[in-house]
Chain A
Amino acid sequence: MKPVIAAAGKTPTWHLFLGVALVGAIAPFVVYPTFLMKILCFALFACAFNLLLGYAGLLSFGHAAFFGGSAYVTGWLCKQVGATPELGLLAGAGFGALLGAVFGGLAIRRAGIYFSMITLGLAQLVFFLALQMKFTGGEDGLQGIPRGKLFGLVDLNDSMTMYWFVLLVFLGGLFVVYRTIHSPFGQILKAIRDNEPRAISLGYDVDRYKLLAFVISASLAGLAGSTKSLVFQLASLTDVHWHTSGQVVLMTLLGGLGTVLGPVVGAATIVGLENVLADKVGPWVMVIMGVIFVVCVLAFRRGIVGELAALRSRGGADH
């Protein structure tokens, strides 16, 4: 698989993280924090997804299973067992990794387009389990999940405190993605994405690399879902539905495949758009999302960040 990827920019690491942290620090004074937390959760989700599609060239259509599955696990632990939020999140990320190992182990047995169909099928399996099992609360989902006290000390019920915590989780997740991409491991992933037979002939066990990438991605997607369940104190069937899998694909595609910040921009755009449109056009949101999909695929394959990077590098070449 070889998606259209924008040329990588040469922004230094600390510039990037300082910039994101600064925007994150100023934003809650301008915009409603709960809305920002939703963006951060979906941004982390999209970054995790992008690690797989943008850098390993694997299109998973089942990432909602990790997002929603971990949301249930964290919700259940915090509500029924009384776990502290940090333990809940850790368990959620662990569950994502575990489920990712199962999904990945099965799906990488088939290449190309089958991979997407298998992940979609497995996620549908998880959806039906969530619908039928007792602990998920069926159609109602898990409601009233307590945010609790971080390490037993910091009360997260205050929305600003919760915001700083979510921002930290997000930056941590972004850092993991960034380090993965820029490690030798990430280089091999890109080599596999660009030319799998060549990577095999160089002696790399490509299936192991793909599987590890899948597990990291699933774990972070799980972390995103867990965080979401604490923010909204809700884990529901929407989180595990294939619509959510489609949404994260759209966010990544719109923002820019294979760019570090693309998924963040894409998530902010889609969540923002949904927020604005939900009041005005209601049910038309689905049609609009579909149209964005079609337009992105036909005319805008590099995504927002990818197009900007291309513009910048073209500008740089002129001078």
Chain B
Amino acid sequence: MEIFGIPSALLGSQLLVGLINGSFYAVLSLGLAIIFGLLNIINFAHGAQYMLGAFVALLASKYLGVNYWLALLLAPLTVGVLGVVIERTMLQRLRGLDHLYGLLLTFGLALILEGLFKNFFGVSGESYEAPEALSGGVDLGFMFLPLYRGFVVVAALGVCLMAWYLIERTSLGATLRAATQRPDLVQALGINVPVLITATYAVGSALAAFAGVLAAPIFQVNPVMGSNLIIVVFAVVVIGGMGSILGSIVTGLGLGLIEGLTKVVYPEASAVVIFLIMVIVLLLRPAGLFGKQA
């Protein structure tokens, strides 16, 4: 079976890879957007936190025998606690300063984390086994779907939709959105905004770690896995704009699919296609697809 002269199995498997990458883009850009909303900081350490999540899963299984499902809880928790520490000891001191200092501080943190893991584990990376229950796959007729990969897409989208529901449809979410607009007023109404900010940073970091655990069985777990990804995610954020949560999810998935498609049609361009789309979007719609013009 062929579509436009491309074997459907190849097309299907590349689109699946695209969908998986797109799910990671969606979760990571969502985390960035949540943190940016309340802290006005672009979290450059997001990639490092994603890498950290994968390493927590790997090390916990190696030394403590922790299984995958527990790691899916443990890694976000660990990285979230680290997020609390980072926010309380460092980011908090930058409030009131220009945005760029937050970017620079988190960039420094990313260097520290990446450098530390490079020292202890080298750059080659180790593999992490997918859980027993999700090994194997199903034949969909036009392509073969490994179960774990299907699970990753479902889990990532599930988390994104949960975040959307939490922020847009619950009273906690309403408080959060109010604090994004007018922190001073929300504080005056008796809500502890500093705690809310710390919690937001922790949840954003935990999301990155969750994505890291999901990614661990698919990619090699290595110290540079985050820094390469985060630059692409920045481009995704520029394309989508950080105004809307559903917008980030749609943009992330869509760009992942386009990237996968490029791998089939013109493989040489697959590494740059997202940046090229960023250029086109900047030319045609400078505010981003879902952004509001400032």
Q: Evaluate whether A293 and B111 lie within 8 angstroms (CB atoms) in the complex, with A2-B98, A298-B93 already known.
A: yes
With most chain B CB atoms within 10 A of its CB, the pick from A121, A128, A284, A293 is A121
Q: Evaluate whether A110 and B286 lie within 8 angstroms (CB atoms) in the complex, with A118-B238, A283-B115 already known.
A: yes
Nearest Cβ on chain A to B55's Cβ, whole angstroms: 16
A293 x B108 contact (CB < 8 A) = yes
Q: Does A289 contact B (CB under 8 A)?
A: yes
Stretch at the interface among B71-79, B147-155, B273-281: B273-281
Residues on A with C-beta less than 8 A from B238 are 110, 114, 117-118, 121
B237 x A297 contact (CB < 8 A) = no
A118 x B282 contact (CB < 8 A) = yes
Nearest Cβ on chain B to A6's Cβ, whole angstroms: 15
Q: Does A176 contact B (CB under 8 A)?
A: no
Residues of A290-307 contacting chain B, CB below 8 A: 290-294, 296-298, 301
Q: Does B265 contact A (CB under 8 A)?
A: no
A106 x B100 contact (CB < 8 A) = no
Residues on B with C-beta less than 8 A from A284 are 115, 119
> In the docked arrangement, what's the CA distance between A132 and B108, Å?
29
A125 x B276 contact (CB < 8 A) = yes
B42 x A297 contact (CB < 8 A) = no
Task: Select which of B90, B100, B113, B118 is within 8 A of A283 by beta carbon.
Answer: B118
> In the docked arrangement, what's the CA distance between A298 and B90, Å?
7
Interface residues of B (CB under 8 A from A): 36, 42, 90, 93-94, 97-101, 103-105, 107-116, 118-119, 227, 231-232, 234-235, 237-238, 268, 271-272, 275-276, 278-279, 282-283, 286-288, 294
Please give 12 more A-B residue pairs, beta carbons under 8 A apart, in addition to A121-B235, A132-B268: A1-B99, A59-B104, A116-B42, A125-B272, A125-B279, A128-B275, A242-B227, A253-B104, A286-B118, A290-B109, A293-B107, A297-B105
Kindly list the 7 A-B residue pairs having the minimum CB-CB distance in the complex, ordered from nearest.
Answer: A293-B108, A290-B111, A286-B115, A290-B112, A287-B115, A109-B286, A125-B275
